[in-house]
Chain A
Amino acid sequence: MKKRVRKWASLTISGAVIALLAAGCSGGGSESKSSGAGAAQGGASPSAATSAGFAYDGKGPVTDKPGTLKILATNSWYNNVDLAKAPIVQEIAKRAGVTVDWELLAPGTYQDAINPRLAAGRDLPDIVYNTDQDQTMKNIQAGLFVPLNEYIDKYGVNVKKMFEKYPDLKASLTTPDGKIYYLPQLAVTKNYMPLWMVNVKWLEKLSLGEPATLDEFTEMLRKFKTGDPNGNGKADEIPMTMDPKFLGMAFGTSFGLDLSNLFYADDGGKVHYSYYEPAYKEYLAYLNGLYKEGLLESDYASTTSDQVTSKFSQDISGVTFNFSWHQSMTYSPLYKDYDPSKPLIKGIAPLKGPHGDAFYLGRNPITGIFGVSKDAKDPELAFKFLDYASSEEAKEIYAWGLEGQTYTVADGKKQFTEQGKDNDFIQQFGINPVNMPIEQSVDATDVLVAPWHAQLDKEMEKYIKPPYPFIYALAEEASVENTIMPDITTYTTEMEAKFITGKESLDNFDKYLGTLKSMGIEDVLKGRQAQYDRYLAAGK
C-alpha cells in the first residue's frame, strides 16, 4: 500500500510541471462540463500549501506530496470484514494519493466509544466520523472541528456539486451563523426504505388479499395465528415478528405519527412531538390490543433481527417490518420453494389508519458526518481527501466496486459479475464502505436485487414521506434540550412499554401528557419550532 502511494506521489511530482496540462486534460475527458468548470475554478484559486503548479481539480490525486491522514470511523457491520483492508477503500486512498492510517471501531457502539474521546478533545485524528450529527452543536461550540467554508470555496469541487444537487442538504448542514463544519454521508431517501412485508404463500393459503388498511392487517394477523398457514398441523405460528426498533416506525405512520424521528412538522409548518399527540393514544390502544390478543409477541421488546430471520427460516412467522433490501436478499431465499422470479416475502403498500393516514417514512438523507478536527496537521489535505471521496467517481466505486472484478460494462450498462453478486465477497471487497462519505446508489441496488423487487420498489416510491429535516439548534435551545430531553426520553420509552403491555392503563394517558408537560416538553417544542422556522426561511 505504502509503496504504491509513493509511486503515485513520485509520478505526480515528476509531472508537477505539467500539472496545469493535467487539469486541462481531466476537464476535457469523459467527465461532464461542470467538472471542467470546477477544475478551472480550483486551478484559479491560489493554493499556498501545496507546491506551486499543483492544483487539486476534484479528481485524484489530491496532493503532489506524500501525505498521511489519520481517520477515525466505523468499521463494517460484518464482523469478519476489516474495511481498512478492503480493496474499495484502498483504491480511493490510492487514487487520492494519500496514505490513510485508519482507526476503525465497531459500528454498534461507535458513538458511545468516541464521545469520551471528543470530550477530552486532545490528539484527535485528522478526520473524525460521527453518527451523531451534533444537532445541539456541542462539538462545534467546543471548537473540536474546523469550519470548512473557506476550503469549500477554494477546493470543494465535488462538495459544491453535491450541494447544488441537494440544496436541502446544504441548508441542513449550515449552522445558524452560516458556517459548515461537516460533510455528509448519504443514504437514498425514497428507495428501499423500511416497509411491511408479508408471506405471499400464507396469504394464498388462507385466500387473503394484501391488507390495505390497519383493520384488514389485524384480521390477517388473527387468521395467521389460527388458520395454520404453514400447513404443519400445529398452531406454532407467531403471526408477526420484528426488531423492536421498527415498531414505532411500522405502526406510527398509520396514525399520522413519526415515531422514528419523534418530531415532525405538519402541512401548516407546526412542529409536533409524536409522544405528545392525541393520536399517540390511539396508537398505544391499538398495540395494547395486539399484545393482549397475542398478535404482538410477548417478548417483542427483546426480539433481535437474527431471531426474525430464524422465525422466517422455520416458516413460523408471516409478517415483519424492515428495510426493503431484506425481501429478496435475506428473507425470500430462506424458503426452499422460493422461485426468484416471483416474490415470496413481499413488501406491501402502507396501511391506511383510522384517519386515512397511509405513508412510509423516508430516511434522513444524512446517515453520518465527517469533520476535520482542530488537531489536523494539514486540514487542507484532509478536506481535499474528503472532497475527492465525495466525488461521483468515488461514489461509483463505493456502489459498484472495481471494473473487471465486481462489475463489467456491456452496452454502456453496468452489470455485477458473479463475484459481485456474492454478498460475502462484496462485503469483503468493501462495497458501500461505512467509513467513507458514500452515497447509496439506487441503480446498483436495482441490478442486485431480484427484478420483481426492483419493480416493487418503484411502486412504493410514491408512499414515502420525507422525514423531519436535520436542523442545528442555537445555544439556548440546545441548553434547554440537553437539560430536559434525557429524562423525557427515559419517561416516554418506559411509558410506551407500560401502555403497550397494559401495565399502565390508558385511562392515565391524560396524566401522562400532564407529566410530559411538567417535565418541560413545551419548552423543547418551542425551540424546535424556532429551528424549523429558520430552516423554512433558509430554504426560501
Chain B
Amino acid sequence: MKKILITLLLITSASLYAADVPLKVPHPKPRLIGTQVAVNIGNLDRSDGLPAESIKVPENAKNIALNKPVTSSDPAPIIGELELVTDGEIDAEEGYYVELDVNQQWVQIDLEKPSTIYAIVVWHFYSQARAYKDVVIQISDDPEFKKDVTTVFNNDEDNTAKLGKGDDKHYIDTHKGRIFPVKAVKGRYVRLYSSGNTANQNNHYIEVQVIGTQQ
C-alpha cells in the first residue's frame, strides 16, 4: 500500500513538475483564393496572434481533440461533416471544412476523459481573409454547458450571443490558426461559438486542436 502511494505521489509530482516546452502548432501553406472581401469590423487585432513558441505547455501535452466526437447546434451542416473539425487535416481546400448555418452556431468537442487544457488552436477558414463574429470559447465538465463553465475567449463585445460581454478583440483567421492560451483549465468538453463572419453569415471550421493532458 505504501509502495503504491509513493508511486502515485511520484507520478503526480512528475506530472505537476513536468518541464514546460514551447507549443508546436502545424502551419499549413497560406492559401488566399479569389476576390478578397474587406474586413469591416471594429476592435480588430490585425496581428497573427501569439506565436506558438511563446506559449509553454507541459512536455506531455498534445492535441487531445484528435478524432474526438463533435456535436453542434447545427447537426446537419451545409457543407461537410462535423468530424472534419477534429480529423487532423488542416487544409483550406474544398472538402476539408464544415460550413454551419447562419447566425449563432456552436460546435462542441467531447474529449471523452477528464482533461487539463493548456491551449486551444482554431482554424475557422483561411482561403479568404475573414474575421468571425462573437467568437466565444468555453470549457466545462457539463455537456450542456449550464454549470462550471470557464470562458477562455470572448470577443462578443455587445453580448449578441447572450453569454456575457467579452473584451477580447476580433481577429483575422490565417493558415497559422489562432492560438488561445489556457491556464490549465480542467474539463471534458470544449464548446466554440461564432455568429457568422465579415464575408458572409455562415460559420466554418477547418480544424480545432485542444492541447492538453489526460489521465
Q: Are A and B a genuine interacting pair, yes or no?
A: no
The interface of chain B, by Cβ under 8 A from chain A, is none
